[in-house]
Each structure stands twice: as structure tokens, then as C-alpha cells.
Amino acid sequence: MDSDALVVFACSDRPIDRQVLRPSGHSFVSQPVRPLPRRPRDALRFLRGWVSSKMLARRLVADLEPAAILGLGGFAAGPLISTASVKIRCGLLNPDAVPGKANSYLAGRVQAIFTQFESTELRFAPSLRGAVHCVGCPVRAELLHADRLRAISTFGLRPDRKTLLILGGSTGAASINEAVSALAEDLDTFADTWQMLHITGPAAKFDADRAYRNRRIVVRTMKYCDRMDLAYAAADLALCRGGASTVAELAVTDTPAVIMPYPYHRDLHQARNAKAMVDASAAICLKDKCSLSANVATLRGSLLELLSESPTLEQMTLAVGRLAKPDAAMKVASWLANE
């Protein structure tokens, strides 16, 4: 929208933040801020990180004189918005169905709250609902235009097979990885019609490679994928968590899914994120039972049925695209640019 605009990310100091941001070409500043502590013994470390990050936020605001600030929904947004919101126009991105702790704390300090789901508005105080705008979840523009044949070639897959994409976020999902690896022999049954692209996360690739060794079904494993546009372009079905960005990406890429929400969040917000897709018959939501044998049994009944030339998969594929909101990023950017 404005080729002269400078975008600077104030992120956490976790390695994954740097890994994601470096290829973007944008400037970023790492903050020592920490999530709210669960244990009293971590309180001092949290306070030190908060105070240091607030001091850094003051210097950033003085140096950059930003026209607007957008909080992306995590704890790293806290110091900057709480410091700058009195003088600078601030907004929040709240892509999850349930607001997290950071957004709940910051919501009263901003002028706009951008949500992915209509139901999220009711989770904010009545006095704040006028600031809520349901625009969808911004996704990378390249997701909208990726080419399937290029994707198949990039990952070394076969063009005459359907592709099952397995992913669990940037660090992987241990319970999904373990369950799919345990199903390797069952998946061999579909070697003539399906193949797999498994993004394992850094810790699980070795074990996944060992599980798939000498199998008939074509499997490509990756620790991390920085070309998710191509991963979705190759996919005919995904097995994944229910993170807000994942749900949005599934919709804009017309990818039906079997969703196993992360089971350890207190508010189980990933299950609520998945509900919109389930209600539209675009996904199946399975409970992660935190037991390898139970998860294997669940996937054996649901996932394998979809791989068996099931008409359900065809219906899910037709339904998923109707949920897409591909212009979410433009709507948020328009607000930031005050247009």
C-alpha cells in the first residue's frame, strides 16, 4: 500500500521468532519479555524481562515515532502497546476464537481488535465490542497463488498421487508425529493412490525417518518448512493442530483437514478454532487423547477412512473454500495506514 512504509517487528527472543522473521527482510528487535509465569519461582525472571522490555519499548517509540502499532496476539506485544497506547494508535490481531491473556489485558488500551471468528466478539467486555472487526486472519499472499506442479517437484513427490500433509506448527506436534509413525504399516495400504509430506519439527525427524524406512508409500519428511505455500499447494488433505493461522491457511488454500487440537491449553481454544471448519463440513476434529494407543485407534478409524476414496473427502474439499477470507491482511493494513 505504501512502498516507503517501514515495518519493524518487536518480537520475543525465542530462536523461532528470528528464524521466521529473517527471510522476510523486515527489521526486528528481540525483547527479553517472558510469558506470565505459572510458578511463583519464575515471577522474578518475568518482572526483570517486563521492566527491561518496557524500557526498550520507550526507546523504540522515541526512535521510530510509529504511525501505528499492531499487537499480534502474544505476550511480546504487551510492553510496546502498554507503553505507547496513550499517544499512538494501536490495534490488536486476535485470530484465535478465545482471546489469550495478552489480548485480554491489552484490549481496553487499543482502538481496534481484529478477529477471525464472529463468535470472538462476545468474549470481550460489552464496552469493547464496538472496536471489534471480524476480518479473518491475515495469511501470506503467496499462499493464494501457489502452483501444485511446482510444489510436487519441489518436494520430490509424485504427480499421480494425492498428498497427505502432516504438520504441527513450527516445532511439530509430538503426539501427531508418534501416532502417524505408528500407523506407517497401515498407510502402506494406500501407496498406490497417496503419498505423504510430513513436517515433523526439529526434534522428531530422525524417529519419523526410521518409522518410514522401507515403506511402500512415498514419504518426504522435513524438520521445518519455509515454503508453506507450496506445502498446501501439494496437499489434498492435512492432518494438523488447530492453531488460528493454520485454520486460516487451510481455508484460503482449499485444504480439508483432520484437526487434532493441542490438548493442554486451559481454554482449549484450538478446538474452538476448528469448530467453524467442522460446522461447515470442511474438517473433522479429533480429540488428542494424550495416549499413543488411543490416538492410533482414533486415526485408524477416521483418517484412513478419508484416504479410502471416501466421498466425505470430496465433500470436505468443496466446503472448505467457502470459509476463506483472503483479504484479511489488506483490511488490517488499511487500518494501520489510516485509509
What is the average pLDDT across 4-17?
93
What is the average pLDDT across 221-227?
92
The H or E element containing residue 70 is: strand 68-71
**Distance separating alpha carbons of residues 76 and 105, to the nearest angstrom:** 12
What is the average pLDDT across 259-280?
92
Average pLDDT, the chain: 94
Q: How confident is the model at residue 20 (pLDDT cuts 50, 70, 90)?
A: confident
> Residue 226 has what pLDDT?
87
Q: pLDDT by residue (tens digit) across 287-312? A: 999 999 999 999 999 999 999 977 99
Nearest to 128 by CA among 147, 109, 144, 141: 109
> Residue 184 has what pLDDT?
94
Q: How confident is the model at residue 339 (pLDDT cuts 50, 70, 90)?
A: confident
Instruction: Say if residues 155 and 220 touch (Cβ distance below 8 Å).
Output: yes
Expressed in angstroms, the distance from the first to the final Cα of the chain is 10
What is the average pLDDT across 258-263?
96
Q: What angle do CA 120, 261, 328 make, to 5 degrees?
A: 40
What is the average pLDDT across 169-180?
87
What is the average pLDDT across 7-35?
93
The H or E element containing residue 27 is: strand 27-31
In the chain the domains, ranked by start, together with CATH numbers, are 8-134 (3.40.50.2000), 142-323 (3.40.50.2000)
How does DSSP assign 241-294, residue by residue? ---HHHHHHHHHTT--EEE---TT-TT-HHHHHHHHHHHTTSEEE----S-HHH
What is the average pLDDT across 132-150?
94
Q: What is the pTM of this model?
A: 0.87
What is the average pLDDT across 28-57?
94
Q: What cell numbers appear for 109 in the block?
A: 488500551
Whether the predicted pLDDT of 170 surpasses 90: no
Q: What angle do CA 129, 135, 138 make, to 5 degrees?
A: 130
What is the average pLDDT across 38-49?
92
> Residue 3 has what pLDDT?
84
What is the average pLDDT across 47-58?
97
> Residue 253 has what pLDDT?
96
> Residue 338 has what pLDDT?
86
